[in-house]
A and B are shown apart, each in its own frame.
Chain A
Amino acid sequence: MKRRARFTVAALAVAIGAIAFAMVAVAEDAVAPAAGAAPAPAPPKPQSANVRIVFTVLPSTKKATVQWGKKKLGVIAPHAPLIVQRPRDSGPLDVVVRAEGCVPVQTRAYTFEDSKVAVKVTPNDQKNTLLGYREEVPADGGAPAGNPDGGAFFSR
């Protein structure tokens, strides 16, 4: 019974698809230029006034807040992105994404077109994996290291 129902639905879908395809084909035929005639350039599609920015975090199980200067834009919940609408081409959004127990991330979203901003967050105890992390110089200030030319320039 279930199998038959499934088949019926599938057949219906195929039929609807075929009709839709035929309609599209008819529609396309209706506007197709005569052989040899130059196609009329289609007018450019008007762009929407706003763009949609989708903020997510990686890993997606984390909850995070998104702050734009003084304003809190919203919260990225586990597996649920934060979607923000902004006027198209109104300049970038410099935001800070904060997830508990992680290094805060300053990033940027653009308003030139719709975009997705997937921000990787790094746990505080793994910040040494980030570029720019460096071992601290000991309190005595350190000393010049050796150089690739055998110390010819800086030997004392």
Chain B
Amino acid sequence: MRGKNPLAIAVLVAAGCGCSGASTPGSHSGDSRTAANTATPTQTTTAVPPRAKNAPRAHVSEEEARKPRADLPPDKRALLIVGEPGHGEERWIDADAAEGAGYTLLDLSDDWTPFIFEEQATAEGEPLPNRYRRIFLGLANDQLDEDGEPLEPGAKNYLELYGIPPSLSVLRARFVQDEEHPCHDQESADAIDAVETVTYVAPADIKKDERRLAKVRDEVEKARKKAHLATLDELAEKQPAMAPKVKMLARRAAEKPAMAAVERRLTCEGLLGRGKVKHTTGIYDDAMRLAVRGFQQKHMIYEANYLRRKTVDALARPLIDNDYDDLTRAIRERVVSAAAILEDGSASKNSRNLVDEYLKTALDQLQLTDGAAALAFFKRHPPTEFKRFRAAIKLPARPDYYSDNMDLSIVVDRGDVWYDLPFTPEGHYKPQPRKKFPSLTLYTKAGGKQIALAKWRTTIGGWRSEQAGNGYEYFRYKQSDVGPRVIRNVVSGPVWIAPASTPIRSLTKGKTVNGKWQRVVNYDELGPGYLSAYGLIAGYFVVPGQNGRNDWDNGVRAHGSSDYLSIYSANGFSHGCHRLPNHIAIRMYSFILQHRPMTIVGDKSMNFARQFLSKETAFEIRLPSRGYYYVLEPPLPVNVLEGEIKGDQKKPIAGYVPTPWGKYPPGLPVPPAPDSAEAKAGGGGGE
């Protein structure tokens, strides 16, 4: 089934009128989505409804557009703020007229999704439902869990780090609740401000750590007395050799009140002391780690689950400031979506950051300039209004190279690459330092020049554990292919069909099912879902088939990922795929789909089932769909650069390698590694 957008003709006419140059502000909303379908040869004579979504608007004067229309229902109106900051007047105006006057409609509704999860339909009006849309919305609104089942009352999702920003209603509740319970006092803030980080001491090592500190304390105290000095600071000054120890003791002393302040803050925010895992005061135990993780997820802090700098900084800030940052990030994704832009300043030092420019414009026009203004805004608008809530904003024109059919391409640079085994013959870890990390750059070609729109860190493959056919785990080098490729299929809510070589231990998880705790298949990793191996969206790298042959798919994709630490870590590797944080992957593919010809295929059903044995139970992976397919026509060019090969090994080692720590039955031969596409790289889920 092909998605035939009913606006095809209208857009064809618009394209014929020279709309492919610089974009006018009013053309932002989904312009290229409509253009996409013009490439579908089967689309010819579809009726155009009189006021279809995203249809070109008739010009409306500014004066006409700004007329108050409080009488209009929510789906016909948009909020305009007129007047100076601090004295602004909120006014509901006619949304269609606003678009006609060059305004962009910023969707602040609770049922907003990025383009990849928007509702689509065939030309005949038959919906092309996306299985994951309902779950995405349920997660964003704190109504559903990752399986699409109702969330427990009062439970929060905090999934922004995984690409699902909270809805405006969720943020509204956060602002209002935090005003009642500020969880912030100056004494605690000062205690946290006094440290940069809090040293992590594993619960099992606490006594050992205390003994070590006592020893150092004795040592410096003896030195102070011997030198006849009044304080340790004087000792550090007079005897520089002692300075690091004195500094360390002072730092560790400051960490105690900081830790206590963090405990108070996390408890007040409802993140510590409410779960089943018990916390022991002053100790960075599992309960504390989970609370810190919750805090990081709530405020989109990319850090390991410890009290490191960014986390500590956020813990020292008033809640309303963090809430305001949360709101600006949520609005950022909606601005990016409404304006169909991508440039975030990542391409180079001098590259333009349209994302921040447009966000600032939107926040200024909405007069959401700080936490207090945002709180006041939310108090003026009850939660029910966010069921359908659009704002009219005027955005600057996009650069000249924007059009409905941009000449886009992707370059993946693998950076520094090591093929050597990451451990010595004795089984010790062998460092493989990289100075240049892998990157993914999206280019557009305009006026004969390649313009980098954005450049992000990504991953390449490395040494990974795999389960062989004999049931034992081995190491295998998972190669990221080099050379020209294309992306033909972009899949939202993609499903990863775990290759048979996937370690069984990762394929099950514990879950409460209808009131009973049991082990089930771990669909988190299979998808569709934000934790899935392919994240919330994936583009499939293939070598185009020649002379009527099928594309060659070696299992490599560029996809979203919840494993953000693997993307930013010096030691992070994939199974061959190129990972991006989910929100970045969503932005990139939404942009590509909105600025390239494409066909919406919709949900691609399959009836996949595979069983595996784990602890006397057979677990059946059952996947009814591959995901929601968009087909790029023509496909998007991709080039993967080899990078610089480091170490002695200049080519990847083929086949399985026993791990030094693995226990294998005596004489068990190392089995041959499977050579299929799905087994080689990321694998699974392809054509």
Contacts and interface: CB of A to CB of B under 8 A. Distances in A.
B127 to A, nearest CB: 6
B244 interface: no
A23 B49 CA distance: 31
A94 B613 contact: no
B612 A110 contact: no
Contact of B518 (A40, A69, A117, A130): A69
A42 interface: yes
A108 B523 contact: yes
A106 B658 contact: no
Contact of A146 (B45, B523, B616, B669): B669
Nearest to B45: A38
A149 B653 contact: yes
A143 interface: yes
B400 interface: no
Interface string A75-96: 0000000000000011110101
Q: How large is the interface on A (under 10, 10 to 19, 20 to 34, 35 or more residues)?
A: 35 or more
Contacts of B519: 106
A2 interface: no
A145 B657 contact: no
A147 interface: yes
Interface in A102-154: 103-110, 112, 115, 117-122, 127, 130-135, 137-138, 141-149, 152-154
Interface string B117-133: 00001011111000100
Interface stretch (B33-41, B154-162, B660-668): B660-668
B612 A96 contact: no
A86 to B, nearest CB: 12
B612 A132 contact: yes
B617 interface: yes
A41 to B, nearest CB: 4
B252 interface: no
A153 B421 contact: yes
A92 B132 CA distance: 13
Nearest to B127: A44
B520 A106 contact: yes
Contact of A131 (B49, B126, B613): B613
B219 interface: no
B513 A143 contact: no
Contacts, number: 170
A68 interface: yes
A71 interface: yes
B416 to A, nearest CB: 22
Contacts of A148: 654-657, 670
B308 interface: no
Nearest to A134: B471
A146 B653 CA distance: 16
Given A69-B513, A142-B666, A103 B616 contact: yes
B145 to A, nearest CB: 8
B622 A133 contact: no
A154 B664 CA distance: 13
A91 B665 contact: no
B175 interface: no
B148 A145 contact: no
A130 B620 CA distance: 11
A105 B617 contact: yes
Contact of B624 (A110, A130, A144): A110
A92 B620 contact: no
Q: Which of A68, A104, A107, A143: most chain B Cβ within 10 A?
A: A107
Contacts of B49: 41
Contacts of B516: 69-70
Nearest to A98: B617
Nearest to B126: A44
Contacts of A39: 47
29 contacts: A39-B47, A40-B47, A43-B125, A44-B121, A44-B126, A69-B513, A69-B514, A69-B518, A71-B515, A89-B134, A92-B148, A92-B149, A94-B518, A104-B616, A115-B624, A127-B616, A130-B612, A132-B467, A133-B471, A135-B665, A137-B664, A138-B666, A142-B666, A143-B666, A145-B665, A147-B656, A148-B655, A153-B425, A154-B425
